[in-house]
Amino acid sequence: MENLILFRVDGGKVWGISLGHVKRSLVLASALSRAGKVLFIMKNYPDGVEYVKNSGFEVIPIEIENNSDETIIDICEKLEPARLFFDLIKNPYTTIFDYCRGANIQTVVLDSLGNFSGSPDILINDTIVPSLAEYPAISEHTKLFIGPQYFIIAGDIYPVEPKPTVENVLLTMGGSDPAGLTVKILRRIADHFTGYKLNVVLGPLFTEHQTVYEIIKGHRNIVVHENPDNFIGLMSRQDAIITAGGRTLYECAYLGKPVLIIPSIEHEALMAEAYAKATGSWFLPAWEDAVSGHRVSEALNYYSNNYSIRKAIYQSSIKLIDGNGVERILGLLGLL
């Protein structure tokens, strides 16, 4: 089909997956929809598939255990796309790339963790962690584009320099929070969180709403936002942000926000450490019930009492992400 674009991506309330890859693909798909029709190929995690459908795109579901190249090849033979994107936490495919090259289908991989050994035409990795951008076995057919300048972000919100005081703090742990960090953090800090307004974001696939509302009952300084329409806009109004090490962290960088990073999975810990070094932000290697609640209060007090530190974080953060990632990728594809 002329100008058809396929995205192979997965999402859902699944450990290690969540919605980060889906959200990234949706932003790029929205931009690419000006160049042709976009369809998604997804493993049939119901909540992730439904999220993409609600975002206005058609989905071709495949079985959850299906990692077969032949399945994707069959879809390509039937639909004859012009481009095929892969945005997966781990990419199991091998022969699909050679098939697509022979069928004149451009292949693009959006990677995050490195060590990919296939042969797409283009591989893009926006990480700032050198060990997550190593490709010793990459094919000679593949053009590599590495660095945070390729981070994909949507919207027309722009960075604003920090205010003299810290008043509004945001807690967000991703689209589904499969590690349960939102509840763990709130249990430890709700009764001691004085002096700030805490905005708690519950993502579209979050399921522990009742527990959250029980914890914050009677705390007038804590407000819950369930799947807010303008998440970036909400973030832009915060003075500090508590988050994990996923794509939200780069959104914080774009906005120049001081961050307390609490990773939910191992590769996020690598990102958290590198991000902290690059920007001067705080990070915890992992959540520990016995001590981490105190570290949250310590970090917020540190930010609150040091405007010069927050200003320095702002300046270093906005150098990482300039918001032009989508345009750069469209340029790589020859679509600008």
Condensed to tens digits (0 to 9), the pLDDT of residues 207-238 reads: 999 999 999 999 999 999 999 989 999 999 99
Per-residue pLDDT of 129-159, as tens digits, reads 999 999 998 899 999 999 999 999 987 889 9
18 sits in the region (left: phi over 0; alpha: psi -120 to 50; else beta) called left
CATH number of the domain located at residue range(s) 168-320 in this protein = 3.40.50.2000
pLDDT band at 266; cut points 50, 70, 90: confident
Is the per-residue pLDDT at 19 higher than 90?
Answer: no
Q: Where in the chain is the domain with CATH 3.40.50.2000?
A: 168-320
pLDDT band at 268; cut points 50, 70, 90: confident
Q: Across residues 174-191, what is the average pLDDT?
A: 91
Alpha helix (H) ranges present in the chain? 20-32, 46-54, 69-79, 95-102, 181-189, 209-216, 231-236, 247-255, 266-279, 292-304, 307-320, 325-332
Question: Long-range contacts: 183-187, Cβ < 8 Å, 24+?
Answer: 183/208, 183/211, 183/212, 183/215, 184/287, 184/289, 185/242, 185/262, 185/287, 185/292, 185/293, 185/296, 186/212, 186/215, 186/216, 186/222, 187/215
Average pLDDT, the chain: 93
- Tell me the pTM: 0.91
Q: Which CATH number fits domain 5-151+323-332: 1.10.760.10, 3.40.50.300, 3.40.109.10, 3.40.50.11190?
A: 3.40.50.11190
Q: Across residues 75-89, what is the average pLDDT?
A: 96
pLDDT at 329: 97
pLDDT at 328: 96
pLDDT at 20: 87
pLDDT at 172: 96
pLDDT band at 32; cut points 50, 70, 90: very high
Is the per-residue pLDDT at 1 higher than 60?
Answer: no
Q: Where in the chain is the domain with CATH 3.40.50.11190?
A: 5-151+323-332
Is the per-residue pLDDT at 330 higher than 60?
Answer: yes
Indicate the range of 25-29, 90-94, 104-108, 316-320 predicted with least confidence. 90-94
CB 96 within 8 A of CB 71: no
pLDDT at 247: 87
Q: What is the percent of the chain where pLDDT is above 90?
A: 78
Per-residue pLDDT of 287-329, as tens digits, reads 988 889 899 999 999 999 999 999 999 999 999 999 999 999 9
Q: Across residues 76-92, what is the average pLDDT?
A: 95
